[in-house]
With several copies, the nearest count.
Chain A
């Protein structure tokens, strides 16, 4: 056990630090929010710069646009870049989820062509799994792909697709057979998002923002050569993508602690910072142990991956704990501010109304990427090996499964 760098790692860190010093934007106290479109353009530019310098997708083989390094190098990169104000996680879904799917299932030619363009963010990718009637039960999806000649014709609707409006390609999971049981009737593809049969509509969130989209497919086409894996093998392929997603988002998801720690030291009530209040300290201690525990757990997982292991379902715990504490922290922060806590003006509320915004965005974090309840199921079944619930849809042909108010 050694939480410090090896000499080789220290060398890499120094190199990264030097490069960032010259190339990355320093953090400022009042960063100033940019529009979504500006943020996208900035991210494209940043990724290209990183790619040109050879730091993009550090763990990918060089021939596919990566740096051929280990997970630990990636951690070092992330630690260092986090000190700057750069959108380094902007295209995490493409690189973290879609990339490994291509790596595993695509042809050598596709990989050599597409992966470097993904690494440089020249091509933007999205992931198309969730549907209005397939949330926690992802395998309940209904978007249909039918083979006509050597093309698949896609009809249906996906939802909660981050970045679909900018995407060149998407990895999509479709139902290709409704006569077999639900897990056996799916197939995975990658699809050209810029074709006529694809319509992207933003979803307005409860906080007023629009980070996600609905995507409608109306006779969209996919050449069979863009199939990822076997026909009917989509569920296995999807699990591989989801496993990589956990690795990609681990340690990236906000838990609210750093901002809260800043707040309690700066917010003054009755002339002293609230951190002097023992009740606040009690909360601070609890949340710090969770924050530190998530961080250390992520590092343990990365150690395992660096040694050649697979990212385990254990990663679900960071998502679960972080999302819940993030919401409770935001709520508690407002409570501390009392009456004025309800004021959301950037200029008036502490930290540019971070906590007010967080209160309204936090529920989404508990839902995106699997609800709290799904995380607990994953831990119970995949980590602890507990028995599944009796399955109401077991062995049924997909078309016969009861579906209630979903249409």
Chain B
């Protein structure tokens, strides 16, 4: 039993943190926030060069052959730094979808490209509000041509290719579509966190290649979402840490009534509660990370648990960081809202808390029954 990351993993994390703290300052994040660009292309390029997208891809498929634990510690740092790059879309979603659903030949072809950052992937699944329901898909494939509309596609406006969920002869499956090909149009959506931008994708007979090894698509999607839930939980706890640290620094330095604001019990206990929420989320994320890396049967429950507590913790930490700042926390100039926006965005990708709570309980009861 060992409930901690290894020294090697911690070293990777430290390297990632050092890199991002110098290359991905909040001033840099604001360039994307304020609409100068849809994502931080140079930063993404550096991240590709560092090999992060290749972390959990096997060596014989062009990856580094590390594992999910290494990806988790990188995720925590990307979350802490609010990195405005398509890492979630391309790595946790598109790459993992391909690992789960593509056959060997497809994987041998696509994974080295993803590992090398030759193209950016995204996942196009959602068509309307609420939890994704396979039985209600309106996107269809006929003779290799895909038609339909997808919404809330993370980084959909800048991705090169999308893994699209669609039905063919009433059978749901995943399809890779080149987004620059004919039959594809896309529209950027105004997103609550412009550093994680969403898009609407319209397909009208776009060429689509079926991921050839999708058998039980519901199970595949569940696994895909569970994996992503764990990785997002690490992004979220990174954000919690950063918000808490920001609030601490400000209130330790600011005075009211002749004393440090951070010396008031109401503020101290607020931070204590933020810390508690973060630590519970962190511990649950660790459990999720282990289940993910060990491909353990507890992954579904561990992933739902990690996600539910990470959503709650980041909401709490990001909103109370604003509160602890007082009026300045409400300004555009202060960085508080960057975390608050990110907390919202991360909580809504993959579906919100209500649906994950229901998943958690289903899985808890299933384990109990087993």
Contact = CB atoms under 8 A, between A and B. Distances in A.
B130 interface: yes
B337 interface: yes
B181 to A, nearest CB: 25
A290 B332 CA distance: 31
Query: Chain A interface residue count: which class?
Result: 35 or more
A111 interface: no
Q: Is the interface of A mostly helix, strand, loop or mixed?
A: helix
A299 to B, nearest CB: 4
A356 to B, nearest CB: 6
Interface string B263-275: 1111111011101
Contacts of A363: 319, 322-323, 329-330, 337, 340
A308 interface: no
B293 interface: yes
Nearest to B189: A343
Contact of B1 (A290, A292, A303, A388): A303
B289 interface: yes
Contacts of B263: 386-390
Given A342-B345, A342-B348, A344-B190, A292 B129 contact: no
Interface string B124-153: 001011111100100000000000000110
Contacts of B349: 339, 342
A343 B198 contact: yes
Nearest to B269: A376
B87 interface: no
A159 B361 CA distance: 43
A380 B130 CA distance: 39
B150 to A, nearest CB: 10
A343 B305 contact: no
B236 interface: no
Contact of B323 (A337, A345, A372): A372
B257 A342 contact: no
Contact of A140 (B257, B290, B323): B257
A62 to B, nearest CB: 23
Given A5-B1, A288-B305, A363-B322, A386 B254 contact: no
Interface of A: 1-6, 9, 72, 75-76, 130, 132, 135-137, 140, 159-160, 203-208, 261, 265, 267, 269-270, 275, 278-279, 281-282, 284-286, 288-290, 292-297, 299-300, 302-304, 307, 314, 317, 320-321, 327, 331, 334-345, 348, 356, 359-360, 363-364, 366-368, 371-373, 375-377, 379-381, 383-393, 396, 401-406
Given A302-B3, A303-B2, A337-B352, 14 more contacts: A140-B256, A281-B357, A288-B305, A297-B283, A331-B315, A339-B152, A339-B349, A342-B348, A343-B190, A348-B151, A359-B344, A360-B340, A385-B248, A392-B257
Interface of B: 1-6, 9, 69, 126, 128-133, 136, 151-152, 189-193, 196, 198, 244, 248, 252-260, 262-269, 271-273, 275-276, 279-284, 286-287, 289-290, 293-294, 305, 308-309, 312, 315, 319, 322-323, 326-334, 336-337, 340-341, 344-345, 347-355, 357-358, 360-361, 364-365, 368
29 contacts: A2-B294, A136-B256, A265-B368, A270-B131, A285-B308, A285-B358, A288-B364, A289-B284, A289-B305, A289-B309, A294-B283, A300-B286, A304-B4, A314-B279, A317-B276, A339-B151, A343-B189, A343-B192, A344-B191, A344-B192, A359-B192, A367-B322, A373-B267, A379-B272, A384-B272, A387-B263, A388-B263, A401-B255, A406-B255
